[in-house]
Chain A
Amino acid sequence: MAEYSAEQIAAHFRGLILSGRMGAGDRLPTVRQTARDLGVAVTTAAKAYRALESSGFVVTKGAAGTRVAAQPSVLPGVVLGHVRDAVAEAQKSGISESDLLNAVQAVWRDRP
């Protein structure tokens, strides 16, 4: 089992925010919970949160915890809609997550 790196953790939350699964003002899990869930050191999770904060995705306000920033750079609604449609269609057809991601990457690479 490969251990999560701070970059991977930050990418995970960035994905949740960009895909609209976490909206502005939504609370992120605590650093401790993230570390415990992923089986990594608290410092690794904290590093990921700092990276998210410095890139403007989240804000940390003491006791209020870490929340999604009011206006993080999100995917345009049209793109997000297509992504959702593709996921729904893939699930309906029994296509796995990894197969879909591979297809997206292949299409991305094929574009000039």
Chain B
Amino acid sequence: MFMLAMLCEVLPVVAALSVVAVLAVPLWREKLPRPVRLDGSSRPDAAARWTLASGAALLVLFAVTVTVMRFHRIRLGGQDYSWWRYSIPLLAACLVLLVVAVLLVSYRRQPAEPVAPTHPRTWRSFTGTSQLWLFGSCAFALILFVAFAGSASSPDDEGRYRWLVIDTGATGGMVADFFGWAYGLPAAAAALVLLVLTVLVLHLNAVRPFFTPNSVGAEEASRSAFSYMVVCFGAGAVLLTLARALNTASSAAGVSLASEGYSFDTTLAAASPWLLGLSYLVQFFALFLLMTVVAVAVRRPQPQAATVHG
């Protein structure tokens, strides 16, 4: 158990090292999209990329802070109930995407030389199917876990479903703080809002007019790289929330009560170690995705000429 707790402490470092390792191997590095240097006065791409990367870095910092706080048994928001306790990374991600959306909308420029469209451009135009599956699966996993944990939760004195109860029958029982409906529903709602905002940003990114016929190739490459970042950012935020929820559920499920010579476990006691292992795995993946966003942003943009189609 101590080893697992230590692993939890160093997980962000492991994720950071993994991203560095990925970037160090040319074969893997080439798989990451590379931003394109565009004329700064004409496109908001660089500003949008950096906004997203800053948001991702803040989420990573948040994850590290919460991990350290948990290690020292300090709870985010104190001991009282705070509906936003688990939703906060999702709400922060929503805010970042909102800023990005405003950037994309407010940076409208009339094309220098209009490019007649040849096909419809939608939110899916610059996003791969695998990326959509990634985000969809993450959101679905979170909502599924909200339903699972919510159905296992019990209400507190004020009717908020945030406890996991050990029922010992006549001898009384005890409660542990749990990821019940009271935390799960706001998290699920925030995840849905994030999903909608992600689609909105992907749409705004796709429908922008091209600046000149010569820059179409470069702009398409830049939009693909940006879409990749947006999806990784959204999925990372969702997974970060899921990891925290799994961790809390595992802690609550692992509680046992000794009373009158008997030991009583929660109904989820058998799942506790699995939930803990899963939370570390999910957190690693979340940090990996968020750091990938930062990694794409800090890559040296390739010159525009290299991407222009003939």
Listed in ascending order, the chain A residues whose CB lies under 8 Å from chain B are: 1, 4, 9, 12, 16, 21-22, 26-30, 33-34, 36-39, 65, 91
Contact = CB atoms under 8 A, between A and B. Distances in A.
A9 B119 contact: no
Given A36-B209, A39-B209, A91-B310, A4 B121 contact: no
A12 B116 contact: yes
Interface stretch (B19-27, B86-94, B105-113, B243-251): B105-113
Given A33-B121, A33-B207, A91-B310, A39 B110 contact: yes
Contact of A16 (B114, B118, B120, B121): B118
B275 to A, nearest CB: 44
B212 to A, nearest CB: 10
11 contacts: A1-B113, A16-B118, A33-B117, A33-B121, A38-B111, A38-B116, A38-B209, A39-B110, A39-B111, A39-B114, A39-B209
Interface of B: 110-121, 207, 209-210, 310
Contact of B120 (A21, A28, A38, A91): A28
Contacts of A91: 310
Given A1-B113, A1-B114, A39-B111, A33 B210 contact: no
B210 A37 contact: yes
Contacts of A34: 116-117
Contacts of A21: 118
Contact of A27 (B110, B119, B210): B119
B114 A4 contact: yes
Q: Is the interface of B mostly helix, strand, loop or mixed?
A: loop
A36 B207 contact: yes
A81 B170 CA distance: 88
Contacts of B117: 29, 33-34, 37-38
Given A36-B207, A37-B209, A37-B210, A27 B113 contact: no
A29 B115 CA distance: 13
A36 B110 CA distance: 9
Contacts of B110: 39
A33 B111 CA distance: 13
A78 B119 CA distance: 25
A29 B119 contact: yes
**Most B CB within 10 A of own CB, among A16, A33, A34:** A33
Ranked nearest first, the 6 interchain pairs of A and B with the lowest CB-CB distance are A29-B117, A37-B209, A38-B114, A29-B120, A12-B116, A37-B117
A33 B115 CA distance: 11
B111 A22 contact: no
Contacts of A12: 116
A30 B119 CA distance: 9
A69 to B, nearest CB: 17
